[in-house]
Every structure is written in structure tokens, then in C-alpha cells.
Amino acid sequence: MPARPTVPDWFSHDRFGMFIHWGLYALPARHEWVMTREQRELSDYERYTEFFDPDLYDPVAWAKLAKRAGMKYVVITTKHHEGFCLWDSQLTDYKATNTPAGRDLIAPFVEAVRGEGLRVGFYHSLLDWHHPEYPIDGIHPRRDDPTRFEANETRDIAKYREYLHGQVRELLTNYGRVDYLFYDFSWKGDPHHEGNPPRLWNAKGNEDWGGEELMALTRELQPGIIVNDRLGIPGDLVTPEQYQPSRPMTLDGVEVPWEACQTMNGSWGYDRDNHDFKSVDTIVKMLIDGVANNGNMLLNVGPTGRGTIEAESQRILGEVGAWMDLHGRSIYGAGPSGFTAPVDGRYTRRGDRLYLHLFSWPPQHCHLPGLAGKVRYAQLLHDASEIHFAEIPPDTQAVNTGMGGQPAGTLTLTLPVRRPDV
């Protein structure tokens, strides 16, 4: 296999992207796994195609919202595990074209995202609960009915593999430049299931998907594309799932780009009755924490069946964007600093600029061990107002230095007592 190419610079520079989970599951509006969770009959679930009518679909509005939030790339589900395709695939009838939507929904999406100057990413499910040759794993459709699994004996994964590769070929041929491919997924076991042994929910991996071949096809059709790590073989980055690593991530002992994907309310697909949204504050902290550990964040929205993004998600993204307007300099092109931040703070660094993010506001003085002699000037980021500081030179011997007993080498900032409201 050819050596892994280095990841294009834009990815780690840009840091913040939008994830979009959209499919038939927007209609039941209770999580994108509803087909499995509720053990729905295929024929019953398929009926949603009759009612999929996103009359308010406006990908330009989605792209503008992403841009407003300070996001630099957008990754959409071309197909999720349910198997329904948002584009006009020639390899299946189970697609947006054959619903009241009546058209390919990916083409205008790509155009809109590019039009806002953002990068285009496709999420593509390896699992497919609809394809007739896809052998069923675990709990779908019904664990309590063994006859359901007899169907597997006549199913031929090789035929599904051909379909999978054919669809990827369509997606990477017909929509111009694609910057990122997020395949999903090859982990075995069920992280949602509490108890032992874990229920099997996907027993497939690299061998089933033809991972190497698919990876090669992906790169051949889109040179320079970034491919994630969920094919069951290493990709260009690692993709922790709703989990914030607290240190830079490594693969075979070497630091590797990473991107945490995060929901706003715990569901990827639109979940009408779930209003358990993360606060803007939490989301901003996750983003900062990621950058401090050299990672990206892919933050999800789940549009409704009419093609709109619910008000709460829009409000949150708008407020994150307002923060990014003033603080984006500490995020884009920034990474770990090499310094140890004070408790409840994070450093990010870009070139010779060090950014201190305080997750709680100290009473006037903020002590920064190890920074004495290293700082030429200090200011608040949002308004460029000067911050005075004092230092205890690193070679100071005296124990009582008059600065609250701080160790030698400490730099102490004098902050406004009232935390600026930004």
C-alpha cells in the first residue's frame, strides 16, 4: 500500500467544521438510529420516502450559517445507515429523486458550500440496513426472531461491496472537488449498550468493505482528499466520537491529526423532543480544548424534514460565531503551546502569539508559571486592551518574592476584576 500522504494544511489550520446528519430519519424525528432502535420493518420504514418533502431546503442558508459560526468546512451525510441516498445515484431507487423532493439534493449543497468559500466533505455510511445484499448484524432488524438472520445466508457481501464502491465512485466523480470523506464505521460492539457482553451492532470491517481498495479509489478520484479512520484501516486522521481527548492523539506512536465530532443535543439526526442542548460556553470550551491539544471539532446539526435547521441550533451557532469573530485568531492556524496552562485555563499558540483562555475568571491576578522573561506584551484579545504584568525572574532565590509566594519564573497578569462580557 502506498505511504499515507501528509494531510493538507487546510485541515489542521481551519479547526472547526459543521457536520450535517440528514435523511429519512428527520421525519420520525427521534434519532438517526430509529430504524434499529425501534426494530422497524423495512417496508414500514421505506414509507417515509412518500413523505420526504423538504420544501424549505435552502443549502445556501445552511452554508451561510456554517460560515457565520466560524466553521470552515461542512460534512453532509450522503447516505446514513438507513441506506437512503440524498443524491441521484444510478445504482439504487432508494434516493431523494424518488420522493416528493424529486431531485438530487447533494449537487446544490456542494454548490452552496463552495459558494460561501467553505470546504466540502461527504459522510458516507458503510453500513446499509436497506441494501438487499447487506448481511444483517446484531439487533437489526429483530434480535428475538432468528428467521430474520437466515436471510443472511443468501446475502452476498461482495455484491454490496460492489455497490458501495460504485456509489463512492459516483460521489467522487460527479460533484467536483470533494475535500474530505468521512466513512462510517468499522467498530465492533455496541457502545450504547450497557452490560456485558456488549450487543453486536456491526460485525464488519476492512475485509467486508474492501477498505484498501476503497481508500485507493477515493484518493485516485480525488487527489488531496482527506479520509477518516473508520474503514477499519488507518486513515489521515482519527475521529473520536463525542469524546474530547485531553492530549494530542497518536497513531503508532506518531502524532496524528484528529477531529472530535460532537452533537449539540446528543442526537445526530433531528430529534424533535430533545432540548438538551450544550451551552455556547461548553461548545466554545470544547473547541478551545481541542485546539490546545492539536485537534479539530466537527459540530453537528440535524435539519428537519422540511429542510430547516431548528432555531435553538441556529441561536447557538450564531453565538459561537460571535465569539469566533473576536477570538478566531486563537483558533485558526493555532495549536498546542508547549507550556503548561494554569488550572482551568488553556493555551493555544500561533507562531509567536500565545493565547491564554481562562475557563474561570480569577480574582484579579493570574499566575503563569514558566512564562517570566518570555512575554514582550500582554493584552486582552477581544479589544486589544493592555494587560499589565509582573515577573519573578527564573533565577530568583528568595522564597518570599512578594507575589503571593509564587515560584521563580512566574509571570503574573493583573486582570480587570470584572470579567469582560464577551
C-beta of 266 vs 342, nearer to ligand JFZ: 266
C-beta of 99 vs 263, nearer to ligand JFZ: 263
- Which single residue brings its beta carbon nearest to ligand JFZ? 187
Q: Which amino acid is at 271?
A: D
Instruction: Please state the closest distance from residue 230 (CB atom) to ligand JFZ, in A.
Output: 7
The interface with ligand JFZ within residues 19-48 (CB under 6 A) comprises 32-33
Q: Give the residue, chosen from 134, 185, 209, 323, that forms a contact with ligand JFZ under the rule CB under 6 A.
A: 185
Helices and strands per DSSP (H, E), number in the chain: 12, 14
C-beta of 228 vs 348, nearer to ligand JFZ: 228
Count CB atoms within 10 A of the CB of residue 109.
25
Contact status: 241 vs ligand JFZ (CB under 6 A): yes
- Provide the grid cell at 122: 461527504
How many residues of this chain interact with ligand JFZ, rule: CB under 6 A?
Answer: 9
Say what the alpha-carbon torsion angle 58, 59, 63, 69 is, to the nearest 10 degrees: 50
Q: Helix, strand, or coil here: 194?
A: coil
Contact status: 179 vs ligand JFZ (CB under 6 A): no
Q: How far apart are CA 422 and CA 369, in angstroms?
A: 26
The interface with ligand JFZ within residues 334-393 (CB under 6 A) comprises none
Instruction: Please state the closest distance from residue 56 (CB atom) to ligand JFZ, in A.
Output: 23
- In the numeric block, the cell 500500500 is attached to 1
C-beta of 82 vs 170, nearer to ligand JFZ: 82
What secondary structure letter does DSSP report for 200? P
C-beta of 278 vs 365, nearer to ligand JFZ: 278
Q: Give the residue, chosen from 116, 128, 184, 229, that forms a contact with ligand JFZ under the rule CB under 6 A.
A: 184
At 236, give phi and psi (nearest 5°). Answer: -85, -15
C-beta of 33 vs 109, nearer to ligand JFZ: 33
Q: How far apart are CA 89 and CA 306, in angstroms?
A: 22
Per-residue x/- mask for ligand JFZ, residues 243 to 262, rule CB under 6 A? Answer: ------------------x-
C-beta of 191 vs 373, nearer to ligand JFZ: 191
Q: Which amino acid is at 78?
A: T
Q: At what angle do helices 311-327 and 280-292 cross, to 10 degrees?
A: 50
Nearest-5° angle of CA 251, CA 256, CA 262? 105
C-beta of 115 vs 191, nearer to ligand JFZ: 191
Instruction: Please state the closest distance from residue 23 (CB atom) to ligand JFZ, in A.
Output: 10
Contact status: 134 vs ligand JFZ (CB under 6 A): no
Query: Which listed range, 91-99, 100-108, 180-188, 247-255, lies at the site for ligand JFZ (CB under 6 A)?
Result: 180-188
Q: Is the dihedral of CA 306, 311, 317, 322 positive or negative?
A: positive
Q: How far apart are CA 236 and CA 238, in angstroms?
A: 7
The interface with ligand JFZ within residues 265-284 (CB under 6 A) comprises 268
Alpha-carbon distances of 179 from 7, 40, 108, rounded to whole Å: 11, 35, 16
Q: Give the residue, chosen from 10, 149, 187, 339, that forms a contact with ligand JFZ under the rule CB under 6 A.
A: 187
Residues near ligand JFZ (CB under 6 A): 32-33, 184-185, 187, 191, 241, 261, 268
